[in-house]
Amino acid sequence: MKVELRDPNKIMKLSRLGSFHQSKLSFLRSFLNEFKEWEYKRDLFNLNENGFGEAVYSFKKNKRVYSLVCFANEIKDEERSDRVIATKWDAAFTLHDGVPKKKDIERLKNEVPKQEVGRLSYKELTLSRANKSVRIYNHVVESLSKGQQPDLNLLSKVGYLYRTTAVYGSGKFGLADRFRIKNREEINGPFRLEMMLVYLVRQFTFDQVNHVAYHKNPKTAVKLDDDICKNLGIGNSTGLGMAPFIVNHPTLLNNWILSREKALKKIREIKDVESQDSDLFIDCVKKSLKNITSWNTDSEYQQTKITSLLKDVEKFLNFINKDFNFEIEYPFNKIYQWLEDNTCEECIEYIVSIMMEPYNNIVNPLVKEMSSDEEKYFNIPTHRKVEELRNIIEEKYPNILDINFEEKENNKNFWFISKNKEEPRLADRFEEHGSELEQPLAIARDIKKLYEKLLVSKNSLTIAEFLTSNSELRHVVRRAFIVEKFPYSEIQDNTIGKDLMPIDMLRLKLSFFGALKFDPRSDKWLRICMFQGAPLPNELKSYDEQWVYKTNI
């Protein structure tokens, strides 16, 4: 039986993309898989009794070494902010290519804590900073120093000791350009070095609390239990900065979604499912309930989604237990069809993610297809004709063409770059100033403009000729030719309408990172948790691949 890939006009809607969950394809899981054989080491741990100072952690294999250089700083409570306007953080990090020399550490000590206003070099690969979750951090230090393990109920409310507020890579602030390192096999997957940084930061947070607790009371202090460490992740506060990324990298977006769609298609095409595979799938769904019930958020929007998800996952388990037999042919296809008919988008995508769990043979080759050589698709095929471009738009953007951008509500917002922090922002074009400096992120509106121009242009004109008098549409001409080849490269929705939920765009990207427990703090930013339940570095050589569904707090 041949199953078709899902229709991009359905999957690439923001409400669906905003319902995506982590899976085996997620970057933090593929990072662990890639680096599990590497030698992990804590090379330097030079903190004072209050936990301030430098530390270096590394992964090494043969002659290749990646080193996380950490700087823990003393800041006042009033200086601590997760917002991008902050200028000081509890800790700052960079991933250095190789073993940092003393003079590298001196140089980095000057630059890394400054973050966006510091300068890095081609020897650094990623840059980040993090703030303590003060109430958790203090509680853990206090408990350990008294010889007790911390209160798990309190830990479960947050899930981490530190949260990062930005992770930068690919040439930002002088960091190495991607092209310098792209041929390294171990990083043939998106954001792999960013994942490494976050993973090693997590270990630093455990080492730091142990160190501070010990110095607080050397006689009674105990170390944070490994099982508790494992069940803590790293938090992350993410704002709109992440949203334009998925618009600005269409071929990369396509490769992420296409890999997921290919995996689903192949799983639905499995005629006979082995009992060990169906057992693993059901086990993961059951165990994952804990992830839903321990998912804390004050956001009404997210609470509603979590309630429907929980209700639908329970309904699904009921269906599997009572009405379903895995011995039928193409059982996962039947399951998928049942999900589409009976559950919400959040639940469909949740179960789709879990369907991948038994199938390393399907998923692992797809992980290698998730990067993109974007330069290859940048040039516009200007020898092609207006008629061809019009046909592409009619075929690839049917719903976009139905939107009336003359209506105020469909043209309400504009994306801009803030002067203060050079970060993307969203504003109401009818209430705020600056819409004349709008970023080219209103793709749906501009595609419609292009289409209207094409309708009154000669079919036989070449694109080169068309562009001589329509330069303002060049950016969307390029995109239309990209979507022709890459069906999942475009969000099939209006990114400037009044109903836009920008966190859907963040959620999509974060799900591919492997984030859990999306906690929207408004419609424009959210907190998440990464690596919660993940093996510790010294456990990497042999770990339970389904760790993500087995967190205990």
Partner 1 sequence: MKSLSEIETTVKRASKAAGYSWGVSEETGKSIRLLELFSLPGIKHLNEYFNQKNKSKFENLNLISENNSSSNNPYCPITLGVSFLDQINVLENLKKIEFKNVAYPIIFISFISRSSEIIGKKINVKIDEKKMLLNLNVNIFSNFIDQEFPKIANTIEVNLLENEDNFTDKEWNNLYKLSEETFVEESDSLKEGAAGAGLTDND
Please choose, out of 166-174, 218-226, 254-262, 452-460, the segment that lies near partner 1 by the rule CB under 8 A. Answer: 166-174
DSSP state of 297: -
d(C-alpha 123, C-alpha 65), whole Å: 12
Of 472, 499, 544, 545, which one interacts with partner 1 (CB under 8 A)? 472
Interaction of residue 174 with partner 1, rule CB under 8 A = yes
Residue span 439-458 as binding mask against partner 1, x where in contact by CB under 8 A, dash where not: -x------------------
One residue of 36, 114, 157, 178 binding partner 1 per CB under 8 A = 178
Determine phi and psi for 99, rounding to 5 degrees.
-95, 120
Of residues 516, 513, 531, the one with CA closest to residue 246: 513
| Location of structure tokens 């741990």 | 45
Helix, strand or coil for residue 146? coil
Would you say 434 or 440 has its CB closer to partner 1?
440
Burial class (CB in 10 A: 0-12, 13-18, 19+), 290: middle
Residue 110 found at the interface with partner 1 (CB under 8 A): no
Question: Can residue 382 be called a binding residue for partner 1 (CB under 8 A)?
Answer: yes
DSSP H/E element including 116: none
Q: Please list the residues that pair with 97 across neighbouring strands.
A: 66
* 157 counts as binding partner 1 under rule CB under 8 A: no
**Residue 382 DSSP class:** T
Site for partner 1 in 310-349 (CB under 8 A): none
Element (H, E) at 424: strand 424-428
160-168 sheet: strands from edge to edge: 39-47, 53-61, 64-72, 91-97, 124-132, 160-168, 233-238, 526-530, 516-520
- Give 73 or 435: the residue with its C-beta nearer to partner 1: 435
Cα–Cα distance for residue pair 107/513, rounded to 1 Å: 30
Under the binding rule (CB under 8 A), the answer on residue 435 touching partner 1 is no
Instruction: Name the minimum Å distance from CB 256 to partner 1.
Output: 20
- When binding is defined by CB under 8 A, the residue of 122, 227, 304, 307 that contacts partner 1 is 122
- For position 483 contacting partner 1 by CB under 8 A, the verdict is no
Q: Which is nearer to partner 1, 39 or 388 (CB)?
A: 388
Distance CA 1, CA 412 (A): 46
Confirm or reject binding of residue 175 to partner 1 (CB under 8 A): yes
Selected binder of partner 1 within 41, 290, 474, 521 (CB under 8 A): 474
177 part of the interface to partner 1, by CB under 8 A = yes
Does residue 467 bind partner 1 (CB under 8 A)? yes
The nearest distance, CB 520 to partner 1, in angstroms, is 28
From candidates 225, 464, 498, 552, binder to partner 1 by CB under 8 A: 464
Which member of 117, 298, 378, 542 binds partner 1 (CB under 8 A)? 378
Pairing of strands 53-61, 124-132: unpaired
- Measured CA to CA, the distance from residue 426 to residue 366 in angstroms comes to 34
Closest CA to 32 of 230, 172, 167: 230
Q: Which residues bind partner 1 (CB under 8 A)?
A: 121-122, 170-179, 375, 378-380, 382-383, 417, 440, 463-464, 467-469, 471-478
